[in-house]
Amino acid sequence: MIRPYTNKDRKRLLQLLRLNTPKYFNHSEEKDFILYLDHHLENYFVLEQNDIVVSAGGFNTFDEGKTMRLAWHIVHPDYHGQGLGTTLTQYRINSIKKIPTVQLIVVRTSQLVYPFYEKMGFELKKVEKDFWAEGFDLYEMHIKLAKELEELTTEKRLYKAIEELQSMRFAQSYLFFLEKKIEEKNAEIDSLLTTIELEEMDVTLLESFSIINIFSNILVDQFRQLEIERQEYLQAVLRYKDACKSVELLKFEQKVLEDKIKKIPALEESIKTLTQQREFEIIKNNEQYKEQLFSLNQEIDKAYKINREVYEAQIIGTQCKQLTKKILALLTEAAELRNWGYENNIAEYSKEKSKVDKAVELFYELKIKLLQFEKELHDIFKQNKINLVSNIGQFDSFVDVYYNYMINDWVIRSRISSILSMISALHDEVTRMGNILQNVEKKLKHKIDSAELTKKELILGL
């Protein structure tokens, strides 16, 4: 899995660098890598296998967005020769090609690695002896994208830039929503910490009373109250952990979006230039048909914009569908284990609890994705109010009941069955919305193809 770098990866990447020193890096380069991670990071990615970071690499912007330079590509020595370096390098090249302003990709490497980049299509432009350190020469290599861009018409380049900007605008608006959610969750965490402290004090106090009054007649009542306080303390701790996990996921998403929207100013300038070129071409072709062509182009641009929103919604919808499917599988297994224990009179729930714990963790991830899906759907359908999150409120009460060990077995089995029905209904609703989006996508494609054909026939007839 390739994902953006986070601060939590810092120690693992330094270890990865050390594993490649001194074969591929000089010891003196570690301080340069630290400086890069702390002050010059723009687009940096890690490749994971089984939760192990096996490769990392990024790219940085130069020459007002016309040049991108690949940076600090490292592969774990145990995973050399498995194609991971190729995978991550191609991923970065593909990411760069999506940026309309880029004309040149540069990599500055050494004599040890330059044959690898040659195979990736880079051409050697410059060699400088002992540039990185003694025995580590500079090999500067280029891939020129200008020819590839020239082969695209102004119109296609503009569509490509508009799609990219639309994606960034969505990221910008969703970032504001994320900041609000993080603020709310942090307030919830502060409140829960206070609750935990109070509950812990109550438990400690009752435990001390139980020891003092060990021979008292009210011992039974005190033990009962102590169990209740312990359950309340446990529930507060679980809610606190869930809130912390939600904040962690939200902050990760926030960092990804913040990196993405940094490119907006350069992209806006590119769109402005391309729009002027396109208008000139329309007028140049034939003044008589200028208005008709302009109207068709507006229709196509609008359809592309909506289509981009549909595409973004489909991605989130697919993620929601996958999460509900996983939760259903886990809860189904938990229900089967609970029923087996009941039928065989065996009160051992560790396997079942592990399934429910994982389902609860996935549920809070799902909740965040559903909020995002709702917003995407609202942006597309405007007038129609779509509620997905409000239909799953009973999951929180299920969590409270499940982790309350004073609730009897029959109630737990009933609640698991009920929550299975709720998640199943949610899965069906998400699937239904996905089918609707597919139909919208087909209609938009037909609309774009029809307008493109009309425009083509008009231009060919000039």
DSSP, collapsed to helix, strand or coil, labels residue 105 as strand
Question: Per-residue pLDDT for 322 more than 90?
Answer: yes
Residue 461 has a pLDDT of 43
DSSP, collapsed to helix, strand or coil, labels residue 296 as helix
Question: Per-residue pLDDT for 404 more than 70?
Answer: no
> Rounded to an integer, what distance in angstroms lies between the CA atom of residue 96 and that of residue 114?
20
> pLDDT confidence of 302, banded at 50, 70, 90?
confident
Single-letter code of the amino acid located at 433: M
Residue 221 has a pLDDT of 61
> Rounded to an integer, what distance in angstroms lies between the CA atom of residue 55 and that of residue 49?
9
Give the contacts of 196 (CB within 8 A, at least 6 positions apart): 233, 236, 237, 240
**Phi, psi dihedral angles at 20 (to 5 degrees):** -100, 5
**Phi, psi dihedral angles at 245 (to 5 degrees):** -65, -40
pLDDT in tens, 367-383: 888 888 888 888 888 76
Cis peptide before 22 (omega within 30 of 0): yes
Region 271-295: mean pLDDT is: 69
DSSP, collapsed to helix, strand or coil, labels residue 437 as helix
Query: Would you say the pTM of this structure is higher than 0.85?
Result: no
Residue 438 has a pLDDT of 92
> pLDDT confidence of 215, banded at 50, 70, 90?
very low
Q: For residues 290 and 282, is the Cβ–Cβ distance under 8 A?
A: yes
Q: For residues 244 and 413, is the Cβ–Cβ distance under 8 A?
A: no
- Looking up tokens 């008009």 gives 458
Biggest distance spanned by C-alpha atoms of the chain: 105
Cβ count within 10 A of residue 159: 20
Tokens of 346: 């065996």
Region 275-285: mean pLDDT is: 65
> pLDDT confidence of 460, banded at 50, 70, 90?
very low
**Phi, psi dihedral angles at 433 (to 5 degrees):** -65, -35
Find the length of the chain. Answer: 462
Tokens of 155: 């119109």
Q: What percent of the chain has pLDDT over 90?
A: 6
What value does the CA radius of gyration of the chain take, rounded to a whole number of Å?
29
* H/E element, 158: helix 154-212
- Name the H helices within 262-349: 264-285, 290-343
Residue 149 has a pLDDT of 47
Tokens of 189: 């965490």
The residue ranking higher by pLDDT, 405 or 53, is: 53
2-4 and 123-133 strand pairing: unpaired
Q: Is 130 left (phi over 0), alpha (psi -120 to 50) or beta?
A: left
- Name the H helices within 344-408: 350-381, 394-402
Taken in order 155, 160, 164, 167, the sign of the CA dihedral is positive
pLDDT in tens, 68-94: 899 888 888 888 888 888 888 888 888
Nearest C-alpha neighbor of 338 from the set 350, 326, 329: 350
Question: Per-residue pLDDT for 222 more than 70?
Answer: no
- Looking up tokens 């007002």 gives 64
DSSP, collapsed to helix, strand or coil, labels residue 27 as coil
Tokens of 92: 């970065």
